């Protein structure tokens, strides 16, 4: 997959930019606060359906503007495509693919695919379980449109259940029936999320193990495990019917405790990925350097799995990563991405020669 072009109007501090990209290594350079990350943010919206910096769309409309337009042109194995998005302070956003308006996010995500790597990802291993679930959710959303739909459905049902648990009348008879109905609706949806995540983690296991072994010259091991709240038996987690039954039991057996706690205690929203580093939980025991190496392994694996499933490598968007990694890790990471399209931002790269395309940004614009 190759990003060919990005057009940006009134998005953050970028008032009007038309940027062409090439195959290979693209550098977006410029001093601090010139709009480099804003360009990556705009491009990534087409991969994820939303920004990686905010959930509030109004925040990225330029301060003095009422609306913002972004568009990309990219080429996949079949054809050239155009996608665009229009954001307005007072209206709902509008998304388009090849001129046709798209209403469902599940139809928007999965067309243009990208792996994003920002300095925040470097602490993924030790940060919260929700960040690691988000890693899975974003990766899976781009390769399986069904996943976006089931996740949305589950989150709506979960919000309904949590609202009911907070309700003063939660112990009344009619509410009991509502809890039963919700459990029956939620169990199959939760089961498909769990099975898809478990299958993804099994793929991840193979790649992460291999990358980590290469990075440590075979002296250390990393084994990725999906941690589910329903069982720790891996084979069961791959059986949707059994997982559904386990969820149904969890959703009904613990209801009084949940009413007391006023929240749902079980479900995919409680799951996590654990990486066993030399046999011990990396979440608890890894060093800063090991954490960085594992984050690199995860990001490389994310791209490989996307290529295994879709048949082509995604575009790699790297926000200021080289400034955060030591030269050995940086060299390893970049060496693994040869022949792929990379868009990298940086304010301190001195040698431009190794880049196939250099874009310089100043005051939210591109200097040709």
Ligand X SMILES: Nc1ncnc2c1ncn2[C@@H]1O[C@H](COP(=O)(O)OP(=O)(O)OP(=O)(O)O)[C@@H](O)[C@H]1O
Q: Which of 335, 357, 332 lies closest to 345, judged by CA?
A: 357
- CB neighbour list of residue 232: distance below 8 Å, 6 or more residues apart: none
Residue 100, burial from CB neighbour count under 10 angstroms (0-12, 13-18, 19+): exposed
Answer for which of 10, 34, 37, 118 binds Mg ion (CB under 5 A) is: 37
Q: Which is nearer to ligand X, 116 or 136 (CB)?
A: 116
Provide the mask over 286-325, with x wherever binding to ligand X is found by CB under 6 A and - wherever it is not.
----------------------------------x-----
Please report whether residue 118 would count as binding Mg ion according to CB under 5 A: no
Quickly tell me which residue has 């310089």 as its tokens.
Answer: 360
Do 148 and 127 touch, CB atoms closer than 8 A? no
Please report whether residue 118 would count as binding ligand X according to CB under 6 A: no
Please report whether residue 347 would count as binding ligand X according to CB under 6 A: yes
Q: Which is nearer to ligand X, 38 or 111 (CB)?
A: 38
- The helix or strand, by DSSP H or E, that contains position 6, with its residue range, turns out to be strand 2-11
By a kind-dependent CB cut-off of 5 to 8 A, residue 198 interacts, out of Mg ion, ligand X, none, with none
Return the range that interacts with ligand X (CB under 6 A); candidates 54-62, 101-109, 115-123, 194-202.
54-62
**Using CA atoms, how far apart are residues 363 and 30, in angstroms rounded to an integer?**
9
Q: For the chain, give me the number of helices (H) and strands (E)?
A: 11, 15
CB of 148 to Mg ion, least distance (A): 28
Answer for which of 21, 35, 192, 222 binds ligand X (CB under 6 A) is: 35
CB of 56 to ligand X, least distance (A): 10
CB of 142 to ligand X, least distance (A): 23
Please report whether residue 192 would count as binding Mg ion according to CB under 5 A: no
Two tokens at 11? 């998005």
Please report whether residue 55 would count as binding ligand X according to CB under 6 A: no
By a kind-dependent CB cut-off of 5 to 8 A, residue 60 interacts, out of Mg ion, ligand X, none, with ligand X
**Using CA atoms, how far apart are residues 270 and 247, in angstroms rounded to an integer?**
12
Q: Which is nearer to Mg ion, 2 or 120 (CB)?
A: 120
Q: Which of 219, 218, 238, 220 lies closest to 228, judged by CA?
A: 238
Answer for which of 7, 13, 160, 278 binds ligand X (CB under 6 A) is: 13
Quickly tell me which residue has 């109905």 as its tokens.
Answer: 181
**Using CA atoms, how far apart are residues 368 and 361, in angstroms rounded to an integer?**
9
Q: Which of 252, 260, 247, 263 lies closest to 161, judged by CA?
A: 263
Answer for which of 1, 9, 12, 229 binds ligand X (CB under 6 A) is: 12
Residues that bind ligand X (CB under 6 A): 12-13, 30, 32-38, 59-63, 320, 345, 347
Question: Which residues of this chain interact with Mg ion, rule CB under 5 A?
Answer: 36-37
């Amino acid at each position: 997959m190759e990003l060919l072009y990005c057009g940006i109007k009134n998005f953050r501090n970028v008032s009007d930019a038309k940027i062409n990209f090439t195959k290979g290594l693209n550098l977006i350079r410029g001093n601090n606060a010139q709009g480099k990350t804003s360009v990556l943010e705009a491009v990534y919206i087409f991969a994820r359906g939303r920004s990686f910096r905010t959930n509030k769309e109004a925040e990225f409309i330029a301060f003095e503007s009422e609306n913002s337009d972004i568009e990309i042109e990219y080429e996949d194995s079949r054809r050239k495509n155009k996608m665009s998005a229009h954001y307005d302070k007072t209206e709902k956003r509008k998304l388009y693919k090849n001129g046709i308006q798209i209403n469902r996010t599940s139809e928007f995500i999965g067309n243009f695919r990208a792996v994003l790597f920002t300095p925040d990802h470097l602490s993924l291993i030790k940060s919260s379980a929700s960040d690691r679930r988000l890693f899975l959710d974003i990766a899976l959303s781009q390769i399986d449109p069904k996943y976006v739909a089931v996740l949305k459905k589950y989150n709506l049902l979960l919000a309904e259940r949590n609202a009911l648990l907070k309700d003063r009348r939660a112990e009344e008879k009619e509410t009991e029936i509502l809890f039963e109905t919700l459990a029956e609706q939620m169990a199959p949806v939760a089961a498909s999320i769990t099975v898809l995540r478990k299958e993804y983690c099994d793929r991840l296991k193979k790649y992460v193990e291999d990358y980590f072994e290469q990075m440590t010259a075979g002296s250390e091991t990393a084994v990725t495990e999906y941690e589910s709240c329903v069982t720790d038996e891996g084979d069961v987690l791959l059986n949707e019917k059994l997982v559904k039954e386990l969820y149904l039991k969890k959703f009904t057996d613990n209801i009084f405790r949940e009413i007391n706690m006023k929240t749902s205690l079980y479900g995919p929203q409680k799951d996590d990925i654990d990486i066993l580093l030399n046999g011990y939980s990396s979440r608890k025991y890894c060093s800063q350097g090991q954490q960085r190496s594992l984050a690199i392994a995860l990001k490389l694996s994310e791209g490989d799995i996307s290529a295994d499933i879709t048949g082509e490598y995604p575009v790699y968007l790297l926000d200021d990563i080289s400034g955060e990694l030591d030269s050995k890790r940086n060299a390893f990471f970049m060496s693994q991405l040869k022949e792929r399209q990379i868009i990298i931002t940086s304010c301190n790269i001195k040698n431009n020669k190794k880049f196939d395309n250099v874009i310089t940004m100043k005051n939210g614009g591109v200097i040709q």
